[in-house]
Structure 1
Amino acid sequence: MDRSRSRPHTTVILAMSADGKIADARRSPARFSSQRDRFHLEQQIAAADATLFGAGTLRAYGTTLSVTSAKLLHQRLQNHQKSQPIQILASASAKIDPQWRFFRQPVPRWLIASAAGAKSWQGRSEFEKVIVGEQGVLSREQGAEGQTEKNNCQPRIDWTFALEQLFSLGIKRLAVLGGGELVAAMLAVDLIDEMWLTVCPLLLGGTNAPSPVAGMGFPENLAPRLELLSAQVEAQEVFLHYRLHRSQ
């Protein structure tokens, strides 16, 4: 079966330092990209039906990026889309602080979690939908979305199954905003279609500083291959657009 026909088209959008870090070793919120890159991110979000991000990414920032540009809002209206894409939080354990500013933003919120993680959000108003990302477990209304876990004994999300559910709920284009654990988990099961990487002019270093793709890594012979679609230099930043190469 062609999975691209039963799941959303997925695009990762991330800014990174020249040495390939998406945050410093303290995992502070990444504020090093330019205004041009932030508008580029907003453009990608505005083109999507939904965004997907892990709990670690939300914990760092406290909020998500909504569409504010009048031009982009009008574009969504012309495309018969709601003013804001659905913001999907991924957390297998669903151990999330309801006091985060994210829950006061005027955006639609969904959660993807494991069956165990979803239980604590049943009957609550923070999420419009709670999606259980496990085979054989029914999805529940008012829920959220999950992220990869390092310990196999912890709750996990079946990403192929989760994305099939999103597709059935009308999500055709999905913007993936990190972090690296989430991107790695989706790459491991061949669920990423495109990547936008903005290379910013600074060096962060640090063994523990996160990169666009975290997790256990890939042996060279099994590493996902990329096809460069475009490379554009604007001021001091380089905007790289890749497509995941798939052998036919």
Structure 2
Amino acid sequence: MLTPRPDVTVVLAMSADGKITDFQHSPARFGSKHDKAHLEKQIAIADAVLFGANTLRAYGTTLTVTDSNLLEHRENSGKDSQPLHIVITEKANINPEIRFFKQPVRRWLLTTDEGASFWRHRSEFEQILVFKDNLKFSQTKINLVAALEYFATIGIEKLAVLGGGQLVSSMLEQNLVDELWLTVCPLILGGTKAPTVVGGAGFIEKMAPRLELLEVKTIEQEVFLHYRVIKP
């Protein structure tokens, strides 16, 4: 019997060649207002959002729910106005002066003992979680399975993952992703050093996660693809 965990949806915008940023790792602002509205909707239906430190460092902020209809729906559902925002990082090398720490959201840190050392006696994060992963084959020092199982115990039923590619790779590798929303934007970034939707070491074809296409939407020049991950 499978241990309960939240439903996990990856939500990312990418260039037509699958890049989530350029080779300089600049903040990815190539999505349109329609993509931003789509992202806000996915955040609004989540109980929590999860993203890596590189993603946070690139933007310095997180996207909050501001649409009045979405806020009303959350309120009518008995939820806080904003979902919980969880940063996952091994070293937790984050500038405490960035605007993220002034935004009106609850902030948690999922990290290692090393990453927790700087933040433990500070007020920026409401909770600091450490779930050790000592498995030799794991790409991360954080036990994602244990973390998601804990999230389920505290009522997090829907988790939106907002990047980056290394985190998505680790979660796919451990069969922790249920759905993906990918926005294909009309530009080509190229570059072997430009991050893609899925980073990490990659998968051989026989072991690659398979997807089922659930929905395709086209708004102006962007294509919104909704996939379900086919479970092995």
Q: What TM-score do the two structures reach when normalised by structure 2?
A: 0.95
Contact 1:115 1:133 (8 Å CA) reproduced: no
Aligned CA distance change for structure 1 residues 95 and 47 (closer, same or farther; 3 Å): same
The structure, 1 or 2, with the larger RCO (C-alpha pairs under 8 Å, 6+ apart) is: 2
Q: Which of 145, 154, 157 does residue 142 from structure 2 map onto?
A: 157
SS in 2 for 1:120: helix
One-letter amino acid of the counterpart of residue 48, structure 1: A
Contact 1:133 1:158 (8 Å CA) reproduced: yes
Contact 1:134 1:162 (8 Å CA) reproduced: no
One-letter amino acid of the counterpart of residue 186, structure 2: P
One-letter amino acid of the counterpart of residue 25, structure 2: R
CA-CA distance at 1:19 after TM superposition? 0.6
Structure 1 CA distance for aligned equivalents of residues 58 and 203 of structure 2? 26
SS in 2 for 1:229: strand
One-letter amino acid of the counterpart of residue 2, structure 1: L
Match of residue 168 from structure 1: 153
Structure 1 CA distance for aligned equivalents of residues 146 and 90 of structure 2? 14
Q: Which of 28, 50, 54 does residue 52 from structure 1 map onto?
A: 50
SS in 2 for 1:162: helix
CA-CA distance at 1:135 after TM superposition? 6.1
Task: Give the 5 Å matches for 1:7-156.
Answer: 7-134=5-132, 156=141
* Shift >3 Å, 4+ stretches: none
Structure 2 CA distance for aligned equivalents of residues 2 and 187 of structure 1? 17
Match of residue 192 from structure 1: 177
One-letter amino acid of the counterpart of residue 164, structure 1: E
Structure 2 CA distance for aligned equivalents of residues 116 and 17 of structure 1? 35
Contact 2:133 2:141 (8 Å CA) reproduced: no
Contact 2:75 2:81 (8 Å CA) reproduced: yes
Quick one: percent identity of the two aligned structures? Answer: 55
Two-structure CA RMSD over aligned residues (Å): 1.5
Q: Which of 222, 226, 232 does residue 237 from structure 1 map onto?
A: 222
One-letter amino acid of the counterpart of residue 194, structure 1: E
Structure 2 CA distance for aligned equivalents of residues 30 and 135 of structure 1? 31
SS in 1 for 2:198: coil
Structure 2: unaligned runs, 5 residues or longer: none
**How far does the alpha carbon of each residue in 1:27-86 deviate from its partner, in whole angstroms, 9 at most, with x for none?**
101111110110000000000001000000000000000000011000100110000001
Q: Which of 194, 205, 208 does residue 209 from structure 1 map onto?
A: 194
Match of residue 141 from structure 1: none
Structure 1 CA distance for aligned equivalents of residues 189 and 93 of structure 2? 29
Contact 2:175 2:231 (8 Å CA) reproduced: no
Match of residue 213 from structure 2: 228
SS in 2 for 1:64: coil
**How far does the alpha carbon of each residue in 1:102-157 deviate from its partner, in whole angstroms, 9 at most, with x for none?**
00111110000012322322121101111112269xxxxxxxxxxxxxx97xx710
Structure 2 CA distance for aligned equivalents of residues 190 and 115 of structure 1? 25
One-letter amino acid of the counterpart of residue 37, structure 1: D
